[in-house]
Amino acid sequence: MQTITKIVTNIFIFCLILLSGCSNFINNSKEVKNNMLKNKKFIFTFLSAPGAGKGTLAQQAASKLNFIVLSTGDLFRQHIANNTTIGQELKKYMDKGELVPDDLVISMVKEWLLSVKDTDRQIILDGFPRTDVQAQKLITLIKNNLPEHNFRVVKLEISKGEITNRLVNRRVCPNKSCQAVYNTSMPEIAAGKCLKCSSVLIQRNDDKPEVISQRFDVYYKNEDELIKAYQDSGINIEILSVSQKTPDQIFEEFKAIL
């Protein structure tokens, strides 16, 4: 009888040791994963048709995850306002209504990236790169000057039909200090007025079907070139399906791939 008690006790102790070993192992691997995430620095860019929710996702990543978002449009305006050398160059093209050359955009982005390269915050490039040449130059720039950073391309995937519907049904408040956005499927706006400031809602010119179709033609041609440039450079394109999802759901899925 004593022997049996001894055996049972030994088995029990053995199980306890095994369990504590397992939980240590699990804790350790969690720690390893957290450390890996902490040490990984990412520079994201999104491939996304107009209206797929790229801007909203970037804003959420900035406010909830403390990401830095670079908007090249804002950077253009800052350089011009501060009258920097780049700003003076930019102004020449913009005053003539010409496209800003890739080299100039790249040198501006390079200066900005170098100024933030020691930060631990993750980075999103919003609206950049726009062309295959910009994409190739960015990849070289990251390789040579920011080797600790991993460049990641995330494609927000949605069908042309779904996004067209979303845009055609969009109504916006024209009041500059309000700018609320609605969808015609919302019964609350049946009267056609803004729920916040009572202004009469309008459809943006950009959201009219004929204009949408033109915007898409330009966008998809550009996207094809960008995808080819990424593939040629061996960059993996990660897919995030945004079909039938709310901005919060899209944000949760984005967090899951970090």
**Given the rule CB under 5 A, which residues bind Zn ion?**
173, 175, 178, 180, 194, 196-197, 199
Angle at 118 between CA 104 and CA 29, to 5 degrees: 125
Single out the residue of 36, 48, 112 nearest to residue 79, CA to CA: 112
Output the CA torsion sign for 181, 185, 188, 194: positive
Instruction: Compute the least distance from the CB of residue 180 to Zn ion, in Å.
Output: 5
Distance of alpha carbon 36 from alpha carbon 74, whole angstroms: 32
Instruction: Compute the least distance from the CB of residue 80 to Zn ion, in Å.
Output: 30
Of 52 and 201, which CB lies nearer to Zn ion in the complex structure? 201
Instruction: Compute the least distance from the CB of residue 63 to Zn ion, in Å.
Output: 22
Of 116 and 197, which CB lies nearer to Zn ion in the complex structure? 197
Output the CA torsion sign for 141, 144, 148, 151: positive
Of 115 and 177, which CB lies nearer to Zn ion in the complex structure? 177
Distance of alpha carbon 30 from alpha carbon 26, whole angstroms: 6
The two structure tokens encoding residue 110: 């390079």
238 sits in which H/E element: strand 237-241
Instruction: Compute the least distance from the CB of residue 52 to Zn ion, in Å.
Output: 24
User: In this structure, what is the dihedral angle of CA atoms 207, 211, 216, 222, given to the nearest 10 degrees?
Assistant: -120
Of 159 and 183, which CB lies nearer to Zn ion in the complex structure? 183
Q: Are 60 and 253 in contact (CB under 8 A)?
A: no
Q: Are 135 and 129 in contact (CB under 8 A)?
A: yes
Instruction: Compute the least distance from the CB of residue 126 to Zn ion, in Å.
Output: 25
Of 156 and 173, which CB lies nearer to Zn ion in the complex structure? 173
Q: Are 117 and 149 in contact (CB under 8 A)?
A: yes
DSSP code string of 177-193: TT--EEETT-GGGTT-B
Of 100 and 180, which CB lies nearer to Zn ion in the complex structure? 180
Instruction: Compute the least distance from the CB of residue 187 to Zn ion, in Å.
Output: 18
Tokens 């550009």 — which residue? 222
Of 84 and 175, which CB lies nearer to Zn ion in the complex structure? 175
Instruction: Compute the least distance from the CB of residue 203 to Zn ion, in Å.
Output: 15
